[in-house]
Amino acid sequence: MEQPVERLIFINGELIPASKASISVFDHGFLYGDGIFEGIRVYSGRVFKLDEHLDRLYDSAKALLLQIPYTKTEMSDAVLHTVRANDLHDAYIRLVISRGPGDLGLDPTKCAHPTVIIIADTIRLYPEEVYQRGMDLAAVAIRRPGTDVLNPAIKSLNYLNSVLAKIEANLRGLSEVLILNQAGHVVEGTGDNVFLVKGGALITPPTYSGILNGITRQVVLDLAHTRGIVTYEHPITLHDVYTADECFLTGTAAEVIGVVSCDGRQIGSGEVGKVTKLLREAFFSYARTQGVPAYAKGTLTL
């Protein structure tokens, strides 16, 4: 039986076998969730939307007064280097910047050196048959905190809100659920943006409702525009979900996945809709031809 390949993990400038990769127990990313991350895809040897992911990473760092010890160019090189080192052509990258080791107090100024980790591996959130037949959802009691409490534009390591919602999903035997904000509007899944199709138009919650402006979300909006599909960014309710013609979720890990029911209500025909299929196909066609080539000639500048 073929043994699984051990991945090499980038930690603070070094590539370390996964079985030996470690961080300090005093790291504030571990102790307090004080840090940020990005999930990035590799399609056909190209790192998809790398610049956009790094822009968001550095914006999150600025909001937290977290000083990343590499320039964007150096970080881009490190990501590409990690992908090549693991000989991956279709992959998922997890780029993590934590506050670094400190003491047992909260004070971030006690952490002198941030920890930089890059993991390149494969991922499959849902079985292929779920993508083909569509997903069943339910709304959960957990609410997204308001932007005045924790701004979702900061893609932080604190995902406890989503973990609690995922626990509800597991207890209900569901793969995913919908989370509402304090106003009762549908905002996201546990890690996905939400889209509805109604009367041929595409509707998605606006960023001010408390969502992360997902990079896959923006790509799908752009692809819809180029295909003449009318798009709206507007608050949506559960009633809107129940009565939609189609519904789908987007995310770096989930990509584009259709939804066929919510809270026991069939959505549309009860099958993955034609607009969902169109945009899913358009997304993959676009993603496989775009991005930064990981295997182009060049050397790591770190």
Q: Report the length, in residues, of the chain.
A: 302
Q: Which of 49, 62, 110, 155 does the annotation list as catalytic?
A: 155
Q: What's the domain range around 271?
A: 128-287
Rounded-to-integer distance, Cα 173 and Cα 169, Å: 6
CA-CA-CA-CA torsion for 186, 190, 193, 199, nearest 10 degrees? -50
Q: What is the pLDDT of residues 195-239, one digit of tens each?
A: 999 999 999 999 999 999 999 999 999 999 999 999 999 999 999
Q: Are residues 263 and 187 in the same domain?
A: yes
Residue 289 has pLDDT above 90, yes or no: yes
Q: Is the domain of 136 the same as that of 106?
A: no
Tally of domains within the chain: 2
Q: Which helix (H) or strand (E) holds 276?
A: helix 274-287
Q: Is 125 exposed, middle or buried (0-12, 13-18, 19+ CB in 10 A)?
A: middle
State yes or no: is 274 an active-site residue: no
Please state the rounded mean pLDDT for residues 275-302: 86
Do 228 and 249 belong to one domain?
yes
**Quick one: which of 81, 93, 80 has its CA closest to 38?**
93
Query: Residue 3: pLDDT band by 50, 70, 90 thresholds?
Result: low
Split at pLDDT 50, 70, 90, the class of 299 is: very low
User: Is residue 193 in a domain?
Assistant: yes
In a domain, 296, yes or no: no
Do the domain assignments include residue 300?
no
Q: Do both 247 and 134 map to the same domain?
A: yes
Kindly report, residue by residue over 42-59, the tens digit of the pLDDT.
Answer: 999 999 999 999 999 999
Q: Closest Cα partner for 91 from 41, 53, 127, 140?
A: 41
Give the dihedral sign, CA 105/107/108/109: negative
Instruction: Return the pLDDT at 242.
Output: 98
Average pLDDT, the chain: 95
Question: Do both 115 and 171 map to the same domain?
Answer: no
Q: What integer pLDDT is reported at residue 298 of this predicted model?
A: 52
Residue 301: pLDDT band with limits 50, 70, 90: very low
Cβ atoms 195, 220 nearer than 8 A: yes
